Amino acid sequence: MIWNWQQADWPHFTYDRKALDGLEAQFLRNAGESFGAFKHVSEDDKNRLKVELISEEALQTSKIEGEILDRDSLQSSIGKQFGIQADHRRIPPAEQGVAAMMVDLYNSFDTPLSRDTLFEWHRRLMNGRQDLRSIGAYRTHADPMQVVSGPVHDPTVYFEAPPSSRMAEEMEAFIQFFEQSREGGQQAFPALARAGIAHLYFVSIHPFEDGNGRIGRAVAEKSLAQNLGHPTLIALAYTIERNRKTYYEKLERYNKDTDVTGWLVYFAETILEAQDNTQKRIDFIIEKAKLYHRLRGKLNERQEKVIERMFRDGIDGFKGGLSAENYISITGAPRTTATRDLNDLVAKGALTKTGQLKYTRYALNIAG
């Protein structure tokens, strides 16, 4: 099998620009609308949005790699790093590390990408790990860096990266590409093309023992933010995780050639979907703030607990809708109390009600 890095023209990626023209224009329109809406949000709500959106991306970029983190710990760590009031819980190393990387990505999006930046991101991501030879450094092991599945005696190799001996040379060329391809650079690329190539290029090199996917997605988000001139808060990892199988299929399909038109169309469409998901999440969080403002001081402890539990499920909603049984399970309340509480929440405009008897379900009463 010949991989992209073994091609004669590596790492000179090519693509059909016309295939992306419409997508590039749509990305810029969406970014302008979203940024304009965000400017009208209060400072307190902006801070809440920032913490919730970044913590969700941290959660999902880890989930793509099969690592399940604690949402509350992520939000607490991110809130502390932004200087926003947070609880005093002990943050586990994994949550602490990815939170630190995501906050640095947000705060320093416009600074040049460097080896030191990548090494620091890797150190943070691998926080607490004891099983790796190289943390905060490129891989050095002599064994091939392969993406495989299947039995040990007969594995399927989906990709093999360049040997470790080439990491310094390959990554110097990658960083040079990243800097020269930004707006105003010697070889400037449009926003979506640059982000898509940067991501594929980075994961094709696979410079670290672990964490390449998470850092590669951070590189793509840094690229988008630089092209826009402000942090994107884009739900890229959230969107990729929802279609994780397709993401890996596309990476496998386009890691053998340097013509990456098909990959860029897929990645561009994913970014546009991510923009839409971000806007929905912004709208959702704004409506959450409005609902809490309307209900302030009007709910009992059980009701507050259930409303918060429903909001935690985000824009995808409480699976199947809230039932009386769910309410009892969450609060431990007797059935008569649960029924009274639920009817009161409907009367106060916190929930809407559909169905009858055992098919009765409740949903948050928010716009959209």
> What dihedral do alpha carbons 313, 70, 232, 235 form, nearest 10°?
-50
User: Quick one: pLDDT band at residue 256, thresholds 50, 70, 90?
Assistant: very high
pLDDT band for position 328 (cuts 50, 70, 90): very high
Fold of 299-364: Arc Repressor Mutant, subunit A (1.10.10)
* Fold held by 4-284: Fic-like fold (1.10.3290)
- pLDDT of 122 above 70: yes
Who's near 44: CB < 8 A, 6+ residues apart?
none
Please report the pLDDT score of residue 152 as a whole number: 65
What is the residue-wise DSSP string for 232-278?
Answer: ----HHHHHHHTHHHHHHHHHHTSS-SB-HHHHHHHHHHHHHHHHHH
pLDDT digits (tens, 9 = 90+) for 314-327: 776 777 889 999 99
pLDDT value of residue 149 = 73
Task: Tell whether the torsion through CA atoms of 183, 187, 190 and 191 is positive or negative.
Answer: negative
* Helices within 126-255 (DSSP H only): 167-180, 191-205, 212-228, 236-242, 244-253
Q: What is the mean pLDDT of the chain?
A: 93
Is the pLDDT reported for residue 117 higher than 60? Answer: yes
pLDDT of residue 45: 77
- pLDDT band of residue 150 (cuts 50, 70, 90) is low
pLDDT in tens, 159-202: 999 999 999 999 999 999 999 999 999 999 999 999 999 999 99
84: CB partners within 8 A, 6+ apart: 47, 51
Q: How far is CA 300 from CA 28, 45, 172, 304, 333, in A?
A: 45, 24, 59, 6, 12
User: What single-letter amino acid sits at 185?
Assistant: G
Give residue limits of the domains in the chain.
4-284, 299-364
pLDDT at 49: 83
pLDDT tens digits for range 211-241:
999 999 999 999 999 999 999 889 999 999 9
